[in-house]
Structure 1
Amino acid sequence: IGRGNFGDVYKAYDLRLQKNVAIKAINIEHSDDEIPVLLQEINLLRSLRNPNITNWYKTFIIDVTMFIVMEYCSEGSCSDLLKFNRNSLEESVLSYIMKNVLEGLKYLHSLNIIHRDIKAANILIAKGNVIKLADFGVSGQLNGNTGRKTFVGTPYWMAPEIVTDCKSLKKDQYDEKVDIWSLGITLIELGTGKVPNNDKEPLKALFEIPKMEPPRVPKNSSYYMKEFGVACLCKDPVMRPSAAELLKFKFI
């Protein structure tokens, strides 16, 4: 039914749970370097319990394949929803998605966890139109007041401070505000069917992000949606609102 950061994802029926589940299958024989990251993802998922985060059920290994059994989200991803709606969603739908993603991010950030790969394809829709954050393959843990230095994420959605720190080899560190920037890009993605710089090669687009003016939602958007988009896409992470603060915006 899909492909995650480290493997294919299948739909299955769990006889013990008596319901459909999603199973991520990973060939660990060909993923030696990624095993620590996979274990990090599993340990992270096991500890998370929130209505807007996909549930982890169990992990097991058969021969050289690791299987991660997760909650099945029957309505697909927001990327699927976008295609079904001809690459543009109504503002009321955008507001609903943003609110639910922010609730999930507020929970993650309260645990000092950064998702680091927020985009439409990683926002799933469960039965009853419940919005769930998924694919924690590149998530990072913050230690106290220290940030992250690793260079991960999907280029078009990546926050400028990640690119700047990598390019200049500065020792500055980014924090959970990178998820807020990615959410702003996702808002544009869901509203227009495109992400900024999508006409450029990923690497070229990546290094354009710190240099260009912050992207904006469509001009015909409501005042409140524009206000929300501008706040998410503030280039200064210190001035960029937190998930908890964004939940108070009129657009939400």
Structure 2
Amino acid sequence: MIDQFYADSIQQQFGNKYMKPLLIGEGAFSKVFKCQNELGEFVAIKVVNLLGIQPFIVSSLKNEIQLLNQIKNDNVIRLYESQESQSALFLVLEYCEMDVKHMMINYFDNKLPEDLVINILRQMVNGLNYLHQKNILHRDLKLENIGVMIKKEDFYQHKKLNNIHFQSIFQNGSYKLLDLGLSKKFLNQKNTKTLAGTLLNMAPEILQRKSYSFEADIYSLGVCLYQMITGEYPFDNSLNRKKQIKLIQKQNAKFQEIQNSNLRDIIQKMLNFKVEDRLTFEQLYQSPLLQSTIENVQSQFQNSLIQNTEFSILDDVKSIQSDVSIICPNTSMVETDVSFIQPNYMQNQSNYEKISDNQDISSEINSNQSFEEIQKNSFYKSLIDKPKLIFYKDCKFNQLIKRFNSLYDQFALVIKLCENFLDLISSIPQKLKYQNFEVQFQKYLEYFSDLLEIMIKH
């Protein structure tokens, strides 16, 4: 009866938008249902009973909603929408068939093949580094909070196959960080002291009630990877926090059970007791485990850049293109000498006058497009349709007009650069997603936004 009450509340809240609710999970104050949307696609709807619930739990849920609304990454669970009634809170999320703990127990006798663990590692690095770039600390990384999304064609076949074929099915899967209820969004500070997380997955600095930061997530990820391979926690004394700390200090885990030496090295360094000795993302990206994949697709990325080199917008602007290295966030691992845009004023924001004020805007936007083609683009229409100001006899006024015309050209240039960056991001091969190039390019776009503000003020 209680389950039916929750299921009925979904229909009352959403009507026929989400159908065929099937209970797939539950907690003390919530239940999760698998539903189908109007296109027949599966979603997960988390229904939280707000009646009698403690305020801190509601706060945690609303924190999760707020953070998920800011996130768009292939390896972090996606929130489609959220709604609230007088008695319940509804979160409509991506549907994952299971979590990693369930996958281990039901398909792999509680120990995953190391090749599969390496694949999960790469995807978790993508999701976790993305969160950290957004100044979000997860704080509750554990096997239950890593979702497994299986491709449709694989999902319908896996029940017909024996265990020999399970690895290939899960090797093709997507792995997503779940449950951001305990996550922390840093604003001005970069550390916190709040005791949060799951004891056996907590970094030692949290257990010691010291100030901690992003390195704590790296430790928790190391615990998850160790568990995937051995089926055990690396340091296990959940009944006594002080003894747990001593176990971590001794670093006496069964690392020898990890066959792949590179993977063993990564996990050992992730589980370092001392924060300063713990593995960083920069060091992680330099690991052969990640570099081997990058080398195989590096030419694809270079081709993507070459195909998107419409950045020579002003022919008479000297040095508008320069060879730069495309660097992974927080790493010097991937370096390609690709011709890339770096306008003079990116190096010196005061050098605005280096752009010609007499150049026709139609040629500035794209030398390969006709003026009529450009006019069809509503993004530039407001700029193109408005003529530049003409000159008058007043010398001072002429200087103002000249200044306006110069800025006019530069605004068009910056807008075009932003559009090309967006096109470039969308063309990056999926295999490189875990390196978070999109986060790095977002910083360029933010730079251009700041640049426009400076131009307006001056």
Q: Tell me, yes or no, if the aligned pair for 2:230 and 2:257 is still in contact at 8 Å.
A: no
Aligned to 1:235: 273
Q: In structure 2, do the counterparts of structure 1 residues 217 and 135 end up closer, same or farther at CA, with 3 Å as the change threshold?
A: farther
Deviation digits for residues 126-166 of structure 1 (CA, Å, limit 9, x no counterpart)? 1330111111111111233430111010111110000112x
Q: Quick one: which amino acid aligns to residue 83 of structure 2?
A: F
- The 1-side partners of 2:223 and 2:29 are apart by 24
**Which structure is higher in strand share?**
1
Q: In structure 2, do the counterparts of structure 1 residues 26 and 207 end up closer, same or farther at CA, with 3 Å as the change threshold?
A: farther
Aligned to 1:190: 228
**Which structure is higher in helix share?**
2
Deviation digits for residues 163-204 of structure 1 (CA, Å, limit 9, x no counterpart)? 112xxxxxx420011111011111111112121354x4x341
Q: Tell me, yes or no, if the aligned pair for 2:266 and 2:279 is still in contact at 8 Å.
A: no
Q: Quick one: which amino acid aligns to residue 32 of structure 2?
A: V
Aligned to 1:48: 71
Deviation digits for residues 27-75 of structure 1 (CA, Å, limit 9, x no counterpart)? 112224222221111000111000101100111123411111100013x
Q: In structure 2, do the counterparts of structure 1 residues 127 and 46 end up closer, same or farther at CA, with 3 Å as the change threshold?
A: same
Q: In structure 2, do the counterparts of structure 1 residues 99 and 3 end up closer, same or farther at CA, with 3 Å as the change threshold?
A: farther
Q: In structure 2, do the counterparts of structure 1 residues 121 and 4 end up closer, same or farther at CA, with 3 Å as the change threshold?
A: farther
Aligned to 1:168: none
Using the TM superposition, give the Cα deviation of residue 5 of structure 1 relative to its aligned residue in structure 2, in angstroms. 8.7
Using the TM superposition, give the Cα deviation of residue 251 of structure 1 relative to its aligned residue in structure 2, in angstroms. 3.5
Q: Quick one: which amino acid aligns to residue 208 of structure 1?
A: K
Aligned to 2:101: 79
- Structure label with greater radius of gyration: 2
For structure 2, which runs of at least 5 residues remain unmatched after alignment? 1-23, 152-172, 291-458
Q: Tell me, yes or no, if the aligned pair for 2:45 and 2:91 is still in contact at 8 Å.
A: yes
Q: In structure 2, do the counterparts of structure 1 residues 90 and 38 end up closer, same or farther at CA, with 3 Å as the change threshold?
A: same
Of 149-158 and 31-40, deviating more is 31-40
- The 1-side partners of 2:281 and 2:140 are apart by 15
- The 2-side partners of 1:115 and 1:69 are apart by 20
Work out whether 1:210 is the aligned partner of 2:245.
yes
Q: In structure 2, do the counterparts of structure 1 residues 142 and 238 end up closer, same or farther at CA, with 3 Å as the change threshold?
A: farther
- The 1-side partners of 2:53 and 2:262 are apart by 45
Aligned to 1:116, the other structure's residue is in SS state coil
Q: Tell me, yes or no, if the aligned pair for 1:228 and 1:251 is still in contact at 8 Å.
A: no
Alignment of 1:63-102 (within 5 A): 63-74=86-97, 76-83=98-105, 84-102=107-125
For normalisation by structure 2, the TM-score amounts to 0.50
- The 2-side partners of 1:4 and 1:143 are apart by 31
Q: Percent identity?
A: 29
Of 147-156 and 2-11, deviating more is 2-11
- The 2-side partners of 1:5 and 1:223 are apart by 42
Aligned to 2:352: none
For structure 1, which runs of at least 5 residues remain unmatched after alignment? 166-171
For normalisation by structure 1, the TM-score amounts to 0.88
Aligned to 1:21: 43
Q: Tell me, yes or no, if the aligned pair for 1:105 and 1:243 is still in contact at 8 Å.
A: no
Q: In structure 2, do the counterparts of structure 1 residues 240 and 90 end up closer, same or farther at CA, with 3 Å as the change threshold?
A: same
Q: Tell me, yes or no, if the aligned pair for 2:234 and 2:254 is still in contact at 8 Å.
A: no
Aligned to 1:250: 288
Q: Which residue of 28, 32, 53 corresponds with 1:9?
A: 32
Aligned to 1:169: none
Q: Tell me, yes or no, if the aligned pair for 2:136 and 2:186 is still in contact at 8 Å.
A: yes
Work out whether 1:153 is the aligned partner of 2:176.
no
Alignment of 1:173-184 (within 5 A): 173-184=211-222
